[in-house]
Structure 1
Amino acid sequence: MGDQRQGSGSAGNGIHGTVRGTASVPLSVLDLATVGSGLTATDALRASVEIARTAETRGYHRMWVAEHHSMPGVASSSPAVILAHLAAHTRTLRLGSGGVMLPNHAPLVIAEQFGTLEALAPGRIDLGLGRAPGTDGATAAALRRSDSLNEGADEFPRQLAELTRFLDDDFPDAHPYSRIHAIPGPVQGTSPGGVQSPARPSIWLLGSSGFSARLAGALGLPFSFAHHFSAANTMPALALYRESFRPSEILDRPYASIGVSALAADEPEEARRQVMTGALGMLRLRTGHPGLVPTPEEAAAYPFSPVEREFIDSWLANVIHGDPETVRGRLDALVARTGADELVITANAHTPAARLHSYDLIADAYDFPKAVEDITVAG
């Protein structure tokens, strides 16, 4: 690597977050820009802005958006575009990808996109990377112009190394890419009259199994595990990450966040009513019928078969929901059980209002600061 470092895990680089209120670890937000039945992608993306503003004013540490494709109920197919928009509507909140699916893209393209984001929002950008396609096989082939999905996954360590060298601008002189520069990037600081940028995007590895956990540990990178859809693998993956960890110039000790699905409402019954919409949406996705997020009324009226009910019950077992104190208690228990250094909360519900209210209620439960100012930024 070159001179552009994330540091040794300092809060200024966004790896170790500031603990707010009575929380034991920093709380962050993962947003999928979900599109509910009767709503549009424009509604969903406007809601993402409101969620970012709420996260910033209420003391959440960061907000990530995830790359998904060919899913009608998820409008986050272009994380870099969404993040640029969110950067224009926030001032201090860290923003990033949770994650960009690296095998879908040329590393140089990602280095350019996130270098641009870093230039737009200096010191606030995270580059979370995954190796899954973020979609089905046919869509992945259309994205990659290749019929081989295994090739993309198997090539992930090489692609990651290439991306890192583009971000650091430190290919060896003999490398065929030594005269290729990701711009915006470090080369601008070494050009005549150039001023060195103080930072570059912080790289995270994301995963739902052991592969990325082991790789993140070996490279000394922060790691985020997708507990919200792979809860059975959480403890083994975190143990593998910690066992594999080697101190680096980026981190001197392991730092692991976990993604968790959590929704708070004023009453437990309302929370259950709201999370059923996401559960039905996931059932449809898993059975090959992805669509918009259904309404609570549609979810309540759906005639679940015994097999479908079993899936719903299994799915909801890993969705934290209830009144604010119940949600806080279960989040605290999850931290105690896993030793996670940070929680990245995703709230799945039909309406933006339910998701926004949940983030406010969770912040209240942890005595996060109240929103006392109106943020005026680019409109």
Structure 2
Amino acid sequence: MSADEIRGATRGTAPVPLSVLDLVTVGAGSTATDALRTSVDIAKATEARGFHRYWVAEHHSMPGVASSSPAVILAHLAAHTDRIRLGSGGVMLPNHAPLVIAEQFGTLEALAPGRVDLGLGRAPGTDGATAAALRRSDTLNEGADDFPEQLSELIRFLDDDFPEGHPYGRIHAIPGPVQGTTPGGVQSPHRPPVWLLGSSGFSARLAGLLGLPFAFAHHFSAQNTVPALDLYRQTFRPSAVLDRPYALIGVSALATDEEAEARRQVRAAALNMLRLRMGRPSLFPDPAEVDHYEFSPMEEEFVSSWTANVIHGTPDEVRSGLDGLQKRTGADELMLTSHAHRGALRLRSYELIADAYGLPTA
């Protein structure tokens, strides 16, 4: 696969393809059902406007994030879309057996042929106690330390190419390639491409050495973005998957019709993150609550730091911020995640950004 083939087809004046990262945000006063309906609405709207991908992130034990089961959500989105690529941003590999992931994403590929991405991370996507419950193990560091081995095993399941004599040589991920080599079988032309996700240099280096596309979490690790992308490009080795580096960055961006509303929503998002960091995760707060919240000096410092990394404001301001970020990082694709208390505001944000770039309407 070449970088040109992996590149999206976003039109208009966007400098690079635009995509969506969805955490299925649940605001105070709403339900997970409301949030999932919003996800369908956003997926359909962004597909119509030429966005390239729609990824869902795995998180656990967070009341304001209803994306604990990416494969289930992606199957639902596949039933409501036709062209946009669907994927995980990402599945946290240490939380799952590689065979389970291979079969889940083989099933998704069968449901939406040729448009499924498998993005993988090595963090738990939650706190330590929840990670232990997910893995039924107290050795939490083992999963991260074994990530390269787990990744290799997963790719072999996806390709059905364990070497002869391997303990798993007679085990096949289904749906998968073995169905095409079985008498009477027809080989599927597609296999979900693997992406590595990261917020530091570990996955950047590994993605480069393996010649895989790389997605960096700029939205919560902005200070590491340029060093990680530099490391990825420096260590990149062409592979059967990719002939040159391809780097996507996740960006927190919110456009609103009025600049003041964007500021209110972003401060609410900052309070939400503050509560998470303090071990008190909550539903996404109503900005009216934040208007009356008395931040301590330390909390206000956190809020200021957090909001500084969110590109927000009017559509033109957001476009300018995204263009500047792309130029500074050289990212090949921007994956936008919009956080707001109400689903309608999240949907509106993507529509406004599409308008700012002159993306086509349906």
The equivalent residue for 1:49 is 40
- Contact between 1:265 and 1:324, CA under 8 Å: does it hold in 2? yes
Residue aligning to 2:333: 342
Where 1:334 maps in the other structure, the secondary structure is helix
SS in structure 2 of the partner of residue 257 of structure 1: strand
Is it true that 1:370 corresponds to 2:361 in the alignment? yes
Give yes or no for the alignment of 1:122 onto 2:116.
no
Matched, 1:33 2:24: yes
State how 1:1-379 maps to structure 2 within 5 Å. 7-11=1-5, 15-371=6-362
CA distance in 2, matches of 1:307, 1:148: 33
C-alpha distance in structure 2 between counterparts of 1:162 and 1:225, whole Å: 23
Following the alignment from structure 2 to structure 1, what is the Cα–Cα distance between the partners of residues 265 and 303? 13
Give the superposed CA RMSD: 0.7
1:9 CA drift (Å): 3.7
Matched residue type, 1:194 = G
What secondary structure sits across from 1:235 in the alignment? helix
- Aligned counterparts of 1:104 and 1:79: Cα–Cα separation in 2: 13
- Answer yes or no: is the 8 Å Cα contact 2:10–2:359 preserved in 1: no
The 8 Å contact of residues 9 and 52 in structure 2, kept in 1 or not, is answered as yes
CA deviation after TM superposition for structure 1 residue 35, in Å: 0.5
Cα shift readout 1:289-346 (whole Å, capped 9, x = no counterpart): 1000000101111110100000000000000000000000000000000000000000
**Residue identity opposite 1:75 in structure 2:** A
Compute the TM-score of the two structures, normalised by the length of structure 2: 0.99
CA distance in 1, matches of 2:290, 2:54: 28
**Deviation, structure 1 residue 147:** 0.8
Quick one: which amino acid aligns to residue 201 of structure 1? Answer: P
Distance in 1 (alpha carbons) for counterparts of 2:305 and 2:58: 25
Does the 8 Å CA contact 2:117/2:195 hold for their aligned counterparts?
Answer: yes
Which secondary structure does the structure 2 equivalent of 1:359 belong to?
helix
Checking the alignment, whether the CA contact within 8 Å between 2:268 and 2:290 is kept in structure 1 is yes
CA distance in 2, matches of 1:162, 1:261: 33
CA deviation digits over 1:109-133, x for unaligned, max 9? 0000000000000001000000000
CA drift at 1:134: 0.2
**CA–CA distance in structure 1, aligned partners of residues 122 and 192 of structure 2:** 18
CA drift at 1:10: 4.7
Amino acid of the structure 2 residue aligned with 1:225: F
The Cα offsets for residues 205-227 of structure 1, whole Å up to 9 and x where unpaired, read as 00000000000000000000000
**C-alpha distance in structure 1 between counterparts of 2:320 and 2:135, whole Å:** 43
- The sequence identity of aligned pairs, in percent, is 76
> Deviations along 1:216-240, whole A, 9 cap, x unmatched?
0000000000000000000110000
1:360, 1:9 → 2: CA distance?
27
Q: Could you list the runs of 5+ residues in structure 2 that have no partner in the other structure?
A: none
- Whether the 8 Å CA contact 1:8–1:249 is kept in 2: the answer is no
CA distance in 1, matches of 2:359, 2:291: 33
Given that 1:226 and 1:258 are in contact with CA atoms closer than 8 Å, whether structure 2 keeps it comes out as: yes
Quote the Cα distance in structure 2 between the aligned partners of 1:109 and 1:291.
30
> Structure 2: which amino acid aligns with 1:110?
I
In 2, distance between residues paired with 1:299 and 1:52?
29
Whole-Å Cα distance in 1 between the matches of residues 185 and 293 of structure 2?
A: 62
Cα deviation digits, residues 21-64 of structure 1 (max 9, x gap): 00110000000001100000100111110110011011100000
- Consecutive unaligned residues of structure 1, counting only runs of 5 or more, are 1-6, 372-379
**Counterpart-to-counterpart distance in 1, 2:295 and 2:114:** 48
CA distance in 1: counterparts of 2:257 and 2:301, whole angstroms: 27
The size of the alignment, in residue pairs, is: 362
Cα separation, 2, equivalents of 1:193 and 1:9: 35
Q: Do 1:9 and 1:250's aligned partners in 2 also have CA atoms closer than 8 Å?
A: no
Question: How far apart in 2 are the matches of 1:155 and 1:8?
Answer: 29
